[in-house]
Amino acid sequence: MSTAHPTSLAHQFDSLEQQKESANLGMWLFLAQEILFFGGLFAAYMLYRWRDPEAFAAGSHELDITLGLINTVILIASSLTMALGVHAAQTNKTRALVRWMLATGGLGLAFLVIKYFEYSAKWHHHLIPGPNFHFDPPIGGRAEMFFSLYFAMTGMHALHMIVGIAILAWLLPRAARGTYNAEYHNP
């Protein structure tokens, strides 16, 4: 007695359940790696802030709180739209899935546009770490560590957004064709 091989089952898996468990494990491992990576950056930030609170306070006053707030809202909203997209796939709602994926990508692009304006302002004011860095006395060059960490942390986040948008663009045609459904939605 032979059973049909589900079209959504990759060749290396014995069952859809095994495939789903593998994908879930992969996601948890990815999240753990992200926590370790960004945890290290936050630990460095806390250490250097503890060592030079004046420079970090002065550096933070150069950030645009409004743009930061808008980007925070955008990030939270994009997490929601992606979760709604996964739910749409799980409930066989292809059109809703495509709409939620487009919304997520659009929010990601909005994040990057705002980050461009933030970075442009830092460039214009010579707040990019390196030979042209300039910060007014009495703090002076001590603020360079704040901006080094700022660009490392927000730059990595921007890189994550670029990769996420590229992955969404790759998944979108497949989603529109109905590839992702209640049986197969892990991608």
Q: What pLDDT, in 10s, does the model give residues 61-117?
A: 999 999 999 999 999 999 999 999 999 999 999 999 999 999 999 999 999 999 999
Task: Express each pLDDT in 44-75 by its tens digit.
Answer: 999 999 999 999 999 999 999 999 999 999 99
Q: Is 66 exposed, middle or buried (0-12, 13-18, 19+ CB in 10 A)?
A: exposed
With beta carbons less than 8 A apart as the criterion, state whether 61 and 84 touch.
no
Please name the amino acid found at residue 119. Answer: Y
Q: How many CA within 13 A on the CB side of residue 141?
A: 3
- Does pTM top 0.85 for this prediction? yes
pLDDT greater than 80 at residue 2 = no
Among 117, 175, 183, 122, residue whose Cα is nearest residue 151:
122
pLDDT greater than 80 at residue 186 = yes
Distances (CA, A) of 120 to 80, 109, 113, 155: 29, 16, 11, 13
Percent with pLDDT over 70 in the chain: 98
With beta carbons less than 8 A apart as the criterion, state whether 134 and 126 touch.
yes
pLDDT greater than 80 at residue 128 = yes
Q: What's the pLDDT at 116?
A: 98
Task: Express each pLDDT in 20-46 by its tens digit.
Answer: 899 899 999 999 999 999 999 999 999
Among 136, 158, 133, 161, residue whose Cα is nearest residue 147:
133
With beta carbons less than 8 A apart as the criterion, state whether 97 and 134 touch.
no
Q: Where are the beta strands (DSSP E) in 4-152?
A: none
Among 115, 104, 112, 114, residue whose Cα is nearest residue 79:
104
Average pLDDT of the chain is 94
Q: What's the pLDDT at 20?
A: 86
Confidence label for 3 from pLDDT (cuts 50, 70 and 90)? low
Task: Express each pLDDT in 147-167 by its tens digit.
Answer: 999 999 999 999 999 999 999
